[in-house]
Chain A
Amino acid sequence: MKSTRREFIKNFGKIIPVVFFGLSFKKFIETVSAKENASTHHPGGDYDWNQHYYAFVVDSTKCIGCGRCVVACKEENDVPKEPFYFRTWVERYVWLNGEEEVKVDSPNGGFNGFPVIYDEKEIRKSYYVPKLCNQCDRPPCVQVCPVGATYKTNDGVVLVDEKYCIGCRYCIQACPYGARYLYPKHGEREPRRNTADKCTWCYHRITKGLKPACVEVCPVGARKFGDLKNPDDEINRILDENRVDVLKPEAGTRPKVFYLGIDGAEVR
């Protein structure tokens, strides 16, 4: 009896490392063989995420800086109203007469629109630049997540699993665009508290065939969203007919938000 128990303990001691390393080895093989982090998560229903691949176009020449997109986004996605948490925001770029450096600001992310702070006669050039997650094709945030809580969907959106995120905030550091934030303790949506949050292109809407909230409310059509796999979608025509910029192309992240009418060297 005694010896069997001892043997059992001995064997059990062997099993633990075997199981442990076996599991991580399996994971390793999966990671290595999985192409481009294709995910095993799935939105469910009769939506087939292999039939879609989304892109976003921001036409800076149309944006009037009203901030309705910022408001709509916060309402739609339970983003806390304080000026430290944004899934999307709007920046104002202003070049003044006789000044070489561009002035950039984004009071409360553009939530309340933009107060007049410059003398109109002094302005040489100015425009607004809406910002959001670029849903990069090579997302550094996905790469650095230590547990794989943030992942790329097959239709090209980067999401966070709030039930899985450990709140280490490495992804926030890794995003070159400042598109992520930590959902605060006092945030409305309880399961999301203390996890990383970001723009999802309103994944809950687009998988139902709707447009993202910010696109829906934009009064001037500065934000366009569409499906690259649908040849009739106007997004394809816009991308074919225009020369577009992406933000920080040198970062090698391959963004899927394309910009019209920005100075590529200045807007970052």
Chain B
Amino acid sequence: MSELLWQALQQVQGYVYPNEIEVNWSILIVFYPYITGLVAGAFIVASLERVFKVEAVKPTYRLALLTALAFLLAAPLPLVAHLGHPERALEIMFTPHLSSAMAGFGFVYAWYLLIVLLLEIGYDYRKDVVKWARTKRGLKGFLYRLLTMGDYDISKEALKKDEKLVGIITVIGLPSAAFLHGYVGFIFGSVKANPWWSSPLMPIIFLFSAMVSGIALVLLIYMASTKLRGKKLDMKCTDTLAGYLLYTYVLDLSLEFMEIAHLVYVQEEGIDAILTLINDRLFLSFIVIQIFLGTIVPIFLLVMAKTGLFRATIRKIFYIFAALLAMIGVLAMRWNVVIGGQMLSKSFRGFSTYILPIFGIEGLLTAVAIFILPFVLLFIFVKVLPPWEEPPIWESTEHQAVEGNGEG
């Protein structure tokens, strides 16, 4: 660490306060809002079907829920790994200092995980879990029997109740998801010491970029999983999701534009430093990656797809590129906020340099490992709780008798 600081000292541009040579919030804190954003975004995709009755995206409903859960479980890892004293992490929940924006994290997180996601997934899957518990044997059967929690009632009334409950949970969950991520934006937006962060728009910008990345992630996972399972892609669903990706993108870009326009126009103290930050220090990650490749290009691709001039196969390629670029663009946005904000000296006279270590607890590899983890979790969840639309085996045998083309 110390060696990196000596390097960083050589790379200081202009004047920074001596304590600012060390960039305190590292790559892990870049991934934290990125991962929570994906949770919020994925959950909002799931709510499209439930709350807004967008029937077309039904094939992604359960997939989106499981994705949200997988990423939510990984979300606190970068935070805890980053703490100077991880063993004191729970103090945030046991003795929260309520004037701190950060103190709410534990509560918001627990609420979202326990009250919203687990309940919604539990009630949505209950009928299937009971059926699996009755039909599967061995370890898997035991797991399902455990998951039923002793409740095998899948009468019509019981299922109706479940359905109603899931509806209510989703309605509560939607603002919760928005809050979970808007709150992350507030952690940055409320730091008045830093003009690159301090903005009442920050929570909303975080929320919309979260939706962009979440929709893109669900779209990618949906397309990839369909391909892997050798199924035919539901083009209506894909087109609808891509449409929502476009709308959120347009809102996201407008918000980002308003933020920058306001900064540049009001010319408060520090504006010269901010302009240098944008045009020089963050040129690659902000102008090139976040704005051009990560926003303008995907919007262009999505608009092209919407024109109706292109066949499904071409549209699919557009969507894959747009969604990948969206994921990269939003990651760049998190980088530009977290790292960019710390490059800017609070003396407004210079810039620190963040040197990204490869190894070590706050290194690139840890961050990548933490980001891979939710995909592994999702793989396991999908094995245990298949989210696919086609009817499970016991139903498909009934279907086979009627239609003669059951799928397993």
Contact A27 B193 (CB under 8 A): no
Contact B19 A85 (CB under 8 A): yes
Q: Which of A199-255 contact B (CB under 8 A)?
A: 250-252
Q: Residues of A contacting B347 with CB < 8 Å? A: 104, 178, 268
B56 interface hit (Cβ, 8 Å): no
B119 interface hit (Cβ, 8 Å): no
Interface centre among A23, A91, A178 (most CB of B within 10 A): A178
Q: Residues of B contacting A193 with CB < 8 Å? A: 84
Q: Which of A159-184 contact B (CB under 8 A)?
A: 164-170, 172-182, 184
- Counting contact residues on chain A (CB < 8 A from B), the size range is 35 or more
Contact A147 B19 (CB under 8 A): no
A195 interface hit (Cβ, 8 Å): yes
Nearest residue in B to A141 (C-beta to C-beta)?
A: B193
Q: Residues of A contacting B346 with CB < 8 Å? A: 175-178
Q: Contact partner of B102 among A83, A109, A146, A185, CB < 8 A?
A: A146
Contact B85 A104 (CB under 8 A): no
B221 interface hit (Cβ, 8 Å): no
Contact A182 B348 (CB under 8 A): no
Contact B193 A174 (CB under 8 A): yes
A126 interface hit (Cβ, 8 Å): no
Contact A194 B84 (CB under 8 A): yes
B99-110 to A contact mask, C-beta < 8 Å, 1/0: 111110101000
Q: Residues of B contacting A145 with CB < 8 Å? A: 97, 100
Q: Residues of B contacting A91 with CB < 8 Å? A: 15
B205 interface hit (Cβ, 8 Å): no
Contact B94 A23 (CB under 8 A): yes
B1-42 to A contact mask, C-beta < 8 Å, 1/0: 110010001000001111111101100000000000000000
Q: Which of A100-115 contact B (CB under 8 A)?
A: 104-106, 108-109
Q: Contact partner of A83 among B18, B24, B97, CB < 8 A?
A: B18
Complex CA distance for A251 and B193, rounded to whole angstroms:
7
Nearest residue in A to B91 (C-beta to C-beta)?
A: A147
B231 to chain A minimum Cβ distance, whole angstroms, is: 42
Contact A84 B100 (CB under 8 A): no
Inter-chain CB contacts under 8 Å: number? 147
B156 interface hit (Cβ, 8 Å): no
Contact B192 A86 (CB under 8 A): no
Contact B91 A182 (CB under 8 A): no
Nearest residue in A to B106 (C-beta to C-beta)?
A: A146
B78-112 to A contact mask, C-beta < 8 Å, 1/0: 01001111001101101111111111010100000
Given contacts A27-B95, A27-B96, A109-B18, is CB(A166)–CB(B84) below 8 Å? yes
Interface centre among B9, B96, B97, B107 (most CB of A within 10 A): B97
- Counting contact residues on chain B (CB < 8 A from A), the size range is 35 or more
B366 interface hit (Cβ, 8 Å): no
B349 interface hit (Cβ, 8 Å): yes
Nearest residue in B to A101 (C-beta to C-beta)?
A: B349
Nearest residue in A to B24 (C-beta to C-beta)?
A: A169
Complex CA distance for A174 and B24, rounded to whole angstroms:
12
Contact A173 B17 (CB under 8 A): no
Contact A178 B98 (CB under 8 A): no
B191 interface hit (Cβ, 8 Å): yes
A132-169 to B contact mask, C-beta < 8 Å, 1/0: 00000000101111111000000000000000111111
B240 interface hit (Cβ, 8 Å): no
Complex CA distance for A23 and B348, rounded to whole angstroms:
42
Complex CA distance for A34 and B102, rounded to whole angstroms:
20
Contact B89 A166 (CB under 8 A): yes
Given contacts A147-B95, A147-B96, A168-B83, is CB(A180)–CB(B192) below 8 Å? no
A85 to chain B minimum Cβ distance, whole angstroms, is: 7
Contact A31 B91 (CB under 8 A): no
Contact B22 A84 (CB under 8 A): yes
B300 to chain A minimum Cβ distance, whole angstroms, is: 36
Contact A147 B92 (CB under 8 A): yes
Q: Contact partner of B91 among A166, A176, A177, CB < 8 A?
A: A166
Complex CA distance for A199 and B386, rounded to whole angstroms:
57
Nearest residue in B to A171 (C-beta to C-beta)?
A: B100
A89 interface hit (Cβ, 8 Å): yes
B396 interface hit (Cβ, 8 Å): no
Interface centre among A27, A32, A251 (most CB of B within 10 A): A27
Q: Contact partner of B98 among A28, A82, A177, CB < 8 A?
A: A28
Q: Which of A13-56 contact B (CB under 8 A)?
A: 23-24, 27-28, 31-32, 37
Q: Residues of A contacting B97 with CB < 8 Å? A: 31, 145-148
Contact A185 B18 (CB under 8 A): no
B157 interface hit (Cβ, 8 Å): no
Given contacts A31-B99, A173-B191, A186-B2, is CB(A167)–CB(B83) below 8 Å? yes
B397 interface hit (Cβ, 8 Å): no
Contact B17 A177 (CB under 8 A): yes
Q: Residues of A contacting B89 with CB < 8 Å? A: 166
A-B contact pairs, 23 of them (CB 8 A): A27-B95, A27-B98, A32-B98, A91-B15, A140-B193, A144-B100, A147-B88, A147-B91, A147-B96, A148-B97, A165-B84, A166-B92, A167-B88, A168-B84, A169-B84, A170-B102, A173-B191, A174-B191, A175-B346, A179-B19, A182-B24, A252-B192, A268-B269
Besides A194-B85, A195-B85, 9 more A-B contacts (Cβ < 8 Å) are A83-B21, A106-B18, A144-B99, A146-B100, A146-B105, A164-B88, A166-B92, A168-B102, A194-B84
Which 7 A-B pairs give the minimum distances between C-beta atoms? A167-B84, A178-B17, A194-B84, A148-B97, A176-B193, A146-B102, A146-B103
